[in-house]
Structures are given as C-alpha cells and as structure tokens.
Amino acid sequence: MTGLELALIAFALMLLAIFLRVPIAVAMFATGFIGTWIVLGRPSATLSQMKTLTYDTFSSYSLSIVPLFLLMGQFATKSGMSAALFNAASDWLGHKRGGVAMAAVGACAGFGAVCGSSLATASTMGQVALPEMRKRGYSDALSTGVLAAGGTLGILIPPSVILVIYAILTEQNIVKMFIAALVPGILAALGYMLTVAIYVRVKPGSGPVAERKPIKERFRTLWRVWPVVVIFGLVMGGIAADWNWANPGVQALFTPTEGAAVGAVATGLYGILTGGLNWRSFLDSILETAQASAMIFLIIFGAQVFNSFLAFTQAPQALAEWVTGQGFAPLTILIAMLVCYLVFGCVMDSLSMILLTIPIFFPIIEVLDFGMTPEQVAIWFGILALIVVEVGLITPPVGMNLFIINQVGRDIPISQTYRGVLPFVASDLVRVVILVAFPVLSIWFVS
C-alpha cells in the first residue's frame, strides 16, 4: 500500500469518526497516532515522535496570541462595548427602512474589530440587538438572519483567531494576513447592508422605519464608541506601524502577540473604569478564555499529530503532483476546494475545517500558477478559505451561528432563522466570486 492510499483511507476513517460525533481533536489524534505507528512500524518510535511533537506544538511563541485575543474579546463582551456600538449605529441608521438591521451589521463589524471570534460576536450582539429589533417590529426571519450573518464578521475583521491559526499552519506573516483581510471585511459588511436594503424592499413589512433621532443625540451616542476605535487603532496600528509608505524604515511598535496583550489590557482597563468589568466578571472572563484556549489547543495538537502522519506518508506532495498532472486549470482546482469548504461547513465548525484541510489543500495551491508570487497566493487563498469557512457558519442545517442566535431567541422557530439567513449566504457567495475574479482586493495593501 502506497503512502497516498494509506493517507486517503485514514482521512476517510477520520471523517467517519467525526460524523459519528467523536470529538474532532480525538478523531485527528487517534487517526494520526495509529497511522504513524503503521508507517514507522515500532511503538517506541511513535511514542518518541509524540513526545517531540507535543513540546514543539505547545512551546510555540506564535500560539500565545490566541488566548490573548480571546481574553480581549471576553473583556469587550463584559464591558458593554457591544451595546454602545449598536446604540450608536441604530441612532444613525434606524430611521431608514431596515436601518436597525443595518445597524446590527455595523455593530457586529465594530465588535469584531476587538473580539476576533464569530461565535462570541453572534452571541453578544444577539443579546443586545435581537430584543430591540423585535420590539421595533422587525420580522423574526430578518432579525435572526442578519445577526447570524453579522456574527461571521468576528473572524473576518482583524484581529481574527482563525487567521492567526492559518498563518501559523502555512508559515505566513500574521500582520500581512490581518491587513489583507481589511478590504474583504469591509466588503462583507457593505454586502450584508445591501442585502438588508433589498430584503426590506421585497418584503416591506419585515423592516419598518424607526423614529429619527435628533442630531445632537446621535453625536452623543457616537462619542461613546471611541474606546473601540482607540483599541482597534492601538492594536492594528502598533503591529502594522512599519507599513508606512512615506517612511518604510519605521519599525512596528510591537509584535502581534504584544499587540494582543496591549489590546487585552486596554479593553480590561476600559471595562474597569466604566464599571462593566467587576471582580466576578473578570474571573469569568479568565475562566472562559482558559476553556476556549484549551479546546483550541487540543484541536491544534490533534491536527499536528495527523499532519505529522501525512508528512511521513508524503501524501500531500503525491496528491499535489497527481492533481497538477491531470492538466486541470488552476482556477478549476481552486473552485473545487472552495466547494469542498462549503460542503464541510454544513457539518463542521470553522477551526476544524481549517486545521483538517489546509495541510492537504495548501501544498496543492503552492504549486499552481496564478500569476502571483507564492506569498501573494498564500495570502489570497487564506482570505478565500476564511470567507467560505465563514459561509459554513451560517449554512443550514448545522451552521454554528444559527444555533447561537436561536438560543438567544428561544421562542423563534429555527426554520425562520434558516429562511432569513439564505439571502446573506447568497451575498457571501457573490463576494467569493468577486474575490476569486479580482485577487487584488485581497493583496493590494500587502503588495
């Protein structure tokens, strides 16, 4: 049996275990461990490999950015930033047809700039915005659909935990990945707002007009979102300070990990000064960050064990040679990969999809000729993968964000949420087509 055949059998068995509800970390670890044992032929060699791999995985300095960004998101959630963002956006847009739904999208984008997690963004903004939208007469379908879609901006608007994981897996610069995500993130928010505008014109009763707020009151609520602007500017400006065209010799103020630490401290201080973060909520934030970090690190370790097995079999390289030898156009191969992500998104979460597929897909992407440098291709593919993973979060029947929002509005049938989110899925697919056709939208700032 060749290495490629062994890897394909192992991959199929791992997918079967996942579909049978075995935890993804356990499925990847068990498959990788047994596969490595078969390849090496000796249990002692396999255990020695596990010892080295465990140290190499958890001693990585780059991974320390993950709990810091998660902690930053927890502090932002507890300190009331989400309510300030929604109130400001609602005051400025609420008097338009569907304006409160558009405000929810804007608030999700703003909160995603200090959170980095899709599920946290959907949950937090759902608790703030869903009661307000229902009170103002918005349909349940539009209310839940727009919040589920808006929550996905948490992993696209930098800083993003998923982007960090992708950058580590593919050995790309984290700062460049963050900068490349800015334009697609803005396009996502604008696309969702346009979708709302079309939705409320097709179904006029779904998004009524709210009362216009006095201009003085609007500026008062707008002033309350200054912490989000300051913290986002501090974190992103600090780690990207050397991206200065006028003076390219300027060095960054701090590394991405240091930037995450600064962001967490700044967000925590804001919560303390405003009274939103007390001792109890501080401890809850630490505990929830630890739990989320442990879950992510366990999945990463399982993926590393499986990736090590793939490296022993040389399967990714063999698969890349086979694919390129078939004569398929690079764009055809890319589209096939994106379709795979859409299918996986119906049954898997975003982190699992990235960790499971990147070791297989990325070696193929590396050898394809898209008329760009290898770094540009890696960044472009990372943004595309992130977007289709994001679509998976709102794709029925198992989109994670759909269930998060449904838990917030427990009396709303899940069928209403499915119906309301479909126009936003269509918006995402249009955006994917645009970014595939025009890679410059992802790599222009980086270039």
Q: Where are the beta strands (DSSP E) in 21-165?
A: none
Per-residue pLDDT at 190: 93
Instruction: Provide, rounded to the nearest whole percent, the portion of the chain with pLDDT above 90.
Output: 15
Burial class (CB in 10 A: 0-12, 13-18, 19+), 211: exposed
Per-residue pLDDT at 204: 84
Nearest one of 124, 68, 153 to 386, comparing CA atoms = 153
Q: Would residue 80 be called left, alpha or beta, if left means φ above 0 and alpha means ψ between -120 and 50 degrees?
A: left
pLDDT higher at 411 or 102: 102
Mean pLDDT confidence for 165-187: 88
Spatial distance between the Cα atoms of 130 and 13, rounded to a whole number of angstroms: 41
Quick one: pLDDT band at residue 251, thresholds 50, 70, 90?
low
**99-115 vs 81-93: helix crossing angle, rounded to 10:** 150
pTM summary value: 0.84
Per-residue pLDDT at 447: 67
- pLDDT tens, residue by residue, 120-153: 788 888 888 888 888 888 899 999 999 999 988 8
- pLDDT tens, residue by residue, 352-369: 788 888 888 898 898 888
Nearest one of 226, 244, 256 to 116, comparing CA atoms = 256
Identity of residue 306: F
- pLDDT tens, residue by residue, 199-218: 999 988 888 877 788 888 88
Which tokens hold the place of 399? 């989109």
Spatial distance between the Cα atoms of 34 and 388, rounded to a whole number of angstroms: 31
Which tokens hold the place of 281? 């909520």
